[in-house]
Amino acid sequence: MTRFLPQKFQHNESGAVAVEFGIVAVPFFTLLFAIFQIGLVFFSDQLLEAAVADAARMIRTGQASALGWGLSNFNSQVCSELYSLLDCTKLNTYITTSGSFATLSLSPPVDPKTGAYTTTPSYDPLANTSSSIVVVSTYYEYPTIFSALGLAMADQPNNTRLLGAVAAFRNEPFP
């Protein structure tokens, strides 16, 4: 028995659970929300990949050529499959053609000096021609919430994570 504590405080443990919860609550909820954020990022990336693959199939099969598609039509097709989870106005699509698969450029449009993402969407009209080799790249800057807490989820200077979906293919020999 300690002599320096008053007798009424020696065995009173009624607030111990609240104090312990207060100590554990901040790291627990930080970890919980970080797991939730990572899950949303991966789900959004998978959703973007599937939407771009489906829209790229329209180019590959010649349906885009028959409908006279441009960049806005492609983005509208991708957007129709994103279920309002991503802001469609922030989609950046690059549709280019190449002479061969060996000369394809699949690197994301990121400035090597600053690491910043550059946004200059483009649509090559040759993508709508039969048997051409096409690269469809769509990028989205996904806002991250917990980068300020020291969790390194952001890979861009403005606390966003760059999601990307790429499809490279040869168009079918459509008329």
- Assigned domain for 153 exists: yes
Name residue 140's beta-bridge partners: 163
What gap in Å lies between CA 75 and CA 52, rounded to an integer? 9
- Assigned domain for 155 exists: yes
Structural domain for 39, as ranges:
17-170
What gap in Å lies between CA 56 and CA 48, rounded to an integer? 12
Grouping H, G, I as helix, E, B as strand and the rest as coil, residue 169 is strand
- Assigned domain for 9 exists: no
Q: What is the pTM of this model?
A: 0.81
Q: What H or E segment, with its residue span, contains residue 135?
A: strand 133-143
**Alpha helix ranges (H) inside the chain:** 16-60, 63-67, 71-79
- Assigned domain for 1 exists: no
For residue 17, give both structure tokens.
């659970």
Q: Give pLDDT tens digits for 101-118.
A: 888 877 778 877 777 777
- Assigned domain for 158 exists: yes
Q: Give pLDDT tens digits for 72-91.
A: 999 999 999 998 889 999 99
- Assigned domain for 99 exists: yes
- Assigned domain for 12 exists: no
Domain count, the chain: 1
Residue closest to 169 by CA, chosen among 97, 111, 118, 68 = 97
